[in-house]
Amino acid sequence: MAAKLGILRMRRLEDTFIPVLKKCNTVRLLKRIHAQIEKFSLMQSNFLLTRMLEICDQTGEIEYGNSLFARVADPNIFLYNTMIRAYTRNQMYLSTITLYESMLSRFEILPDRFTYPFVIRSIGGMSDACLGKQIHGHVCKFGLIDDSMVKNCFLDMYVKCDAMAEAHKVFDEMSDRDVVTWNSLISGHMRLGQVRKAQTMFDAMQCKNIVSWTVMISGYTKNGCFGEALDVFRAMQMAGVQPDWVSLVTVLPACAQLGALELGRWVHFYAERRGFLTSTRVCNALIEMYTKCGGVGHALQLFGTMEEPDVVSWSTMIGGLANHGRAREAIELFEEMQKADVKPNEITFIGLLSACSHAGLLEDGLRYFQLMESGYNVKPGVEHYGCMVDLLGRTGYVDQALEFIRGMRMKPESAIWGSLLSSCRSHRDLETAMVAAEHLVELEPGDTGNLVLLANIYADLGKWGEVLRMRKAMRGEGMRGRRPGCSLIEVDSVVEEFVAGDDLKACSGEVFQMLGVVALHQREETLDAVIVLDD
């Protein structure tokens, strides 16, 4: 009788605290409630502790929640699940697995369908396929494998672990495949560069949503298939699916790479009409597209309308100005960035140093290179050293450029030695050129491009015997040429690619005929100019 009265009294006290805990949304208030719960000896109440742990999860105070959980002598499945969920949501994946193992050691408690989704997500976060297979066996053992939510979690976990064969096995066993399931598999194939498998699955989908289309566009863009990304974007519109801001952010890099300015401008107008220009990410993608497609004026105009440009906005705009030879404007924009209290990052300084290099601003370049570490604690990387080597070489300080390379914190890459070799040709410095060429041949033993550049330097100096020796070396076994150059042009929203030496296009005859006409007109204009000068 006394035991029953004790239980009734405890339940009444629990009922008193529940409304108070429901209104609690801060740890400070929770600690005050905690003190009262301690006062009434209710710290072993799984009911109250579950709600307290939920508050810790919502406020991110996991360590406090962990201390509460550790004091419970006999936690039930609800308390375990709440703690597992809190660990997972706060990316404490190892703690999730440790707690799950602890729960299994208590034979009176069995995991349920609410336990495994978070355990499986933690394994996905750890990218541990072997552990995932073990947990898969546990789920089968406890008879929960037919739960659709658990199966979806397993499929997503295997995809994140790059175990696509296992992911497809789970997919094949699923009777209820929703669009999220399909999207997860397609995304996995795209991430691994398996674009054909992703396209095959996409084509087989009966019901596609905006995420499905966006995953395809993003996947093609990240795998360098920019033309295919634009094709999917157009197909999405033809299917009557309106792009959202995420779709625009994924297609704009493809426009930038292909120089598809017309489509990029259409995206800009569409984003403005739909109110997407309030998104910094959309504006940043548009700025990058404009700068890479030659529309730096449009990029500046858009940048000027942004209320709070972030470090990506500033860096993209500075880099864009630098690439278009507008070095002074890039430097002025950097000064404005500093006044706006936006901290520059390594990308910002690449654009800034590149601007100094293109304009031959040696003093400015040296000053900003020193400012990186002293002012903003940004350690110079290979790209920053490359900019400085190029700047020193362009301004005639070839010996100093070589010393700069030798003082690098990391091993110089072939691009840095190549930059030095180019500077040596401009300033006819054969001795330093030999040093650069020696390193290039060591780093890229099969590339004839480096030997061509060295041969050109010998030719400039009239050393024809050395030129002949280089040519013989280039004809040697194992040498490969550089990838042929290509040009892209957008006509009626279709991007055409022309590769040097490729005459297989259907329109090649017309192109060469038109080039002949242009060349003829050019010769006539030159002749007219000569006649005028003679007169």
Q: Are 216 and 244 in contact (CB under 8 A)?
A: no
Q: Across the strands, what pairs with 499?
A: 486
Cα 118–chain centre separation: 26
What is 178-209 written as a DSSP string? -HHHHHHHHHHHHHTT-HHHHHHHHHH-SS--
Enumerate the H helices of 324-429 as residue ranges.
327-339, 346-359, 362-376, 382-394, 398-406, 414-426
Which pTM was predicted? 0.79
* DSSP structure class, residue 490: E
Burial class of 8 by CB neighbour count within 10 A (0 to 12, 13 to 18, 19+): exposed
Q: What torsion do the CA atoms of 417, 422, 426, 429 make, to the nearest 10 degrees? A: 40
pLDDT for the residue numbered 32 = 85
Closest CA to 164 of 151, 172, 176, 155: 155
pLDDT for the residue numbered 117 = 94
Cα–Cα distance, 147 to 154 (Å, whole number): 11
Extract the residue ranges of the chain whose pLDDT is less than 50. Answer: 1-6, 477, 481, 527, 529-535
pLDDT for the residue numbered 5 = 41
H/E run at residue 533:
helix 508-534
Give residue limits of the domains in the chain.
381-486
Q: Are 251 and 214 in contact (CB under 8 A)?
A: no
- Per-residue burial over 115-125, b if 16 or more Cβ lie within 10 Å, else e, is bbbbbbbbbbb
Q: Across the strands, what pairs with 489?
A: 496
pLDDT for the residue numbered 471 = 77
Cα–Cα distance, 452 to 374 (Å, whole number): 41
Helix (H, G, I), strand (E, B) or coil at 281: helix
Token pair belonging to 146: 């037919």
Cα–Cα distance, 466 to 314 (Å, whole number): 48
Closest CA to 77 of 118, 112, 120: 112
pLDDT for the residue numbered 477 = 46
Q: What torsion do the CA atoms of 456, 460, 466, 467 make, to the nearest 10 degrees? A: 40
Q: What are phi and psi of 497, to 5 degrees?
A: -115, 130
pLDDT for the residue numbered 530 = 42
End-to-end CA distance of the chain: 127
Closest CA to 396 of 369, 362, 350: 362
CATH level 3 topology of 381-486? 1.25.40
Helix (H, G, I), strand (E, B) or coil at 299: helix
Cα–Cα distance, 198 to 213 (Å, whole number): 11
Helix (H, G, I), strand (E, B) or coil at 360: coil
Q: Are 163 and 129 in contact (CB under 8 A)?
A: yes
Q: Are 219 and 187 in contact (CB under 8 A)?
A: yes
Residue with tokens 């002074």: 328
Q: Across the strands, what pairs with 494?
A: 491
* DSSP structure class, residue 447: B
